[in-house]
Structure 1
Amino acid sequence: MIYRFDAFELDLAKFELRAEGQVRPVEPQVFALLALLVGNRERLVTRDEIIEKVWDGRIVSDAAIASRVKSARQALGDDGTRQRFIRTVHRQGFRFVAEAKVVGSAATQDATPPAEHASRPSVAVLPFRLLGEAGPYAAIADALPHELIAELARLRWLFVTARGSSFRLRGADADAAGIGGLLGVRYYLAGTVEVAGARLVVTVQLIDTRDGGIVWAERFAGAVDDVHQVREDIRARILSALEIHIPMHEAVRARLATTGNLDAWSAYHLGLQHMYRFNRTDNESAAALFRQSLTEDPGFARAHAGLSFVHFQTAFMHYTDDRAGAIALCRRFATRALELDPIDPFANFAMGRSFWLDGDLDSSLAWLERTTSISPHYAQGIYARAWTETLAGRAAEGRGHADLAMRLSPLDPLYYGMLGTRAFSHMVDGDDAQAATWAGRAARAPGAHVLIAMIAAAAHALAGDATRARAWAAQVRARNPALTRDDFFRAFPMQSASLRERLSTALARLGF
Structure 2
Amino acid sequence: MSDLGEVSRKLVAVFAADVEGYSRLMGTDEVGTLKRLTERRAILDRLIADHRGRIANTAGDSVLAEFGSAVDAVQCAVAAQTALAEANAGLAPDRHVNFRIGVHIGDVMVRAGDLFGDGVNIAARLQTMAEPGSVLISGATYDQVRKVLPMTFMDLGVQQMRNIQEPIRAYQVVAPGDAREMAPTRVADTDSPPPMPDKPSIAVLPFENMSGDPDQEYFADGMVEEIITALSRFKWLFVIARNSSFTFKGKAVDVKEVGRRLGVRYVLEGSVRKASGKVRITGQLIDAVTGAHLWANRFERDLTDVFALQDEVTVAVVSAIQPKLLQTEIVMAARRRPENLTAYDLFLRAMQQFYRSTREGLAETMRLAHRALELDPRFGLVAALASAAHMQNVVWGYAVDPQFDKKEAVRLVRLALSIDDDDPDTMALAALTSAFMVGDSESEIEMVDRAVALNPNSFRAWSSRGHVYRVAGLPEEAVQSFERAIRMSPIDPLLHRTFTGMGFAFIELHRFGEAIVAGKKALRQNPSYSLAHRCLAAAFALLGRDAEAREAAARLLELDPAFTIGAFVARGGQSNSKLMVEGLRKAGLPE
Q: Greater Rg, structure 1 or structure 2? A: 2
Q: TM-score with structure 1 length normalisation?
A: 0.50
Q: TM-score with structure 2 length normalisation?
A: 0.44
